[in-house]
Chains A and B, each alone.
Chain A
């Protein structure tokens, strides 16, 4: 999220936008990463579920960037998103075919401060893709890091952090691992 962890509201729907899948992009992704032969006999080529999930992620990244721009324009400092540690679950109840239009939506369903990364919060993101007939084609629960705005690193941790920045010590720590 582009909001600071403290400002993230739970269970609000964020529309991320709609994507119309073309036969060309479906074929390109499938050929490169997920070349299932079309044994199911569908008239239109079927998109890889991973393609649908990756595109949903793209729409989320774009929505976050647009929101950051909007906040900056309003004179506010946008929050900072980190990389994602994982996906709890995702599934693809109905196949996506060429010509389908899928609308993606994000909800943040839970948030907590991270145990392992001081200064960061952990968000549970629920994502959903719905086709032009109203059928759910993709749903997922993805974990994401979001930076804490009101965090001050304890002195002990700041010291440890500074030590790891010394190249010699870093190498030593790496060897000992």
Chain B
């Protein structure tokens, strides 16, 4: 059987440490903030403007888990679109540095900071450093995320 992934998909062997990717942008609306918070983080400062103003966040702000989820989407629309990624393995040193407020636009940068074999399994791990910033250039979240990446399949049984 022919391997289903197109030639343009990069396997673990094709990745290099230090590679940097500029990410796209997402405007975070009030509806998005309340929608995510209703499902995953129904605390007053993610749902209610008045409560948010009185809180440490200073205004209606996205759940940090939403900022993380949206940065994953940026990663998929960016580098992961052409990498044979399988799943998230781990996250380390995540810092929510500033609140993401209504109508902020987030973007950022992803860097491959390390490559290593997956423990006791056949795949590889690509460690991406993410720095997510708002429209003012202020960093709102930084983290390191381990993405499990498939190795190049063996040539046997592959006609091409």
Contact partner of B89 (CB less than 8 A), chosen from A34, A39, A92, is A92
Kindly provide the distance from the CB of A109 to the nearest chain B CB, expressed in whole angstroms: 17
A55 touches B87 (CB 8 A): no
Do A33 and B72 form a contact, CB below 8 Å, given A46-B87, A49-B88?
yes
- Is residue A83 within 8 Å, beta carbon to beta carbon, of the partner chain? yes
Q: CA–CA, A57 to B76, complex, Å?
A: 23
Contact-residue bracket for chain B? 35 or more
Question: Which residue of the partner chain A has the closest CB to B43?
Answer: A61
Contact residues of B: prevailing secondary structure: mixed
Kindly provide the distance from the CB of B27 to the nearest chain A CB, expressed in whole angstroms: 15
B45 touches A83 (CB 8 A): yes
Stretch from B15-23, B92-100, B102-110, B126-134 contacting the other chain: B92-100
Do A54 and B65 form a contact, CB below 8 Å, given A32-B73, A49-B87, A61-B41?
yes
Count contacts between A and B, CB distance < 8 Å. 99
Q: CA–CA, A65 to B42, complex, Å?
A: 10
- CB contacts (< 8 Å) of A32 on chain B: these are 69, 73
> Total interface residues on A, using CB and 8 Å?
34
Per-residue CB proximity of B22-66 to A under 8 Å, as 1/0? Answer: 000000000000000001111101000000000111000101110
- Is residue B101 within 8 Å, beta carbon to beta carbon, of the partner chain? no
Chain B interface (Cβ < 8 Å from any Cβ of A):
5, 39-43, 45, 55-57, 61, 63-65, 68-70, 72-73, 76, 80, 84-96, 99, 143, 146, 150
List 15 extra interface pairs beyond A33-B69, A53-B65, A145-B56, CB under 8 A.
Answer: A33-B72, A40-B86, A40-B87, A46-B87, A48-B88, A50-B65, A54-B65, A55-B40, A58-B41, A58-B42, A85-B95, A87-B143, A89-B90, A90-B90, A91-B90
